[in-house]
Amino acid sequence: MCPRTNKLPVQAAMNFKTMPQLEVPQGRKGKHNLIVTQILSDLDQTPVGAALKVPLALLDESKAKVRSALNRAVHKAGRSVATASDDEFLYVWNESK
């Protein structure tokens, strides 16, 4: 028989810091969060048959990236929204159900 030793196994040093799980931020607020939130808020107040006219000059990112972020938020919220654009504006409206 092998003699017993009371030695605990040696653990490797941690590579990263730890924190309580309750303090971990939940959700993701990407760089398009502000403009997408503003558009969705305005859409809530837009009458049927009207479209928002968002100047492209106000967008920090490309029209395609904002449209994509808006599309993700719309699908997550279960909404139905349509978009169109020209050289100066991004148009957004609620689609009929």
Domain span at residue 35 reads 31-94
pTM over 0.85: no
Q: How many domains does the chain have?
A: 1
User: Between 5 and 59, whose confidence is greater?
Assistant: 59
- In contact, 71 and 79? CB cutoff 8 Å: no
In the chain, count of helices (H) and strands (E)?
Answer: 2, 3
Residue 3 lies in a domain: no
pLDDT exceeds 70 at position 2: no
Q: List helix spans (H) across the chain.
A: 33-45, 63-77
The one-letter code for the residue type at 52 is L
How far separated are the first and last CA of the chain, in Å rounded? 78
pLDDT exceeds 70 at position 4: no
User: Between 1 and 27, whose confidence is greater?
Assistant: 27
Residue 1 lies in a domain: no
Helix or strand or coil: residue 84? strand
pLDDT in tens, 33-92: 899 999 999 999 999 899 999 999 988 889 999 999 999 999 999 999 999 999 999 999
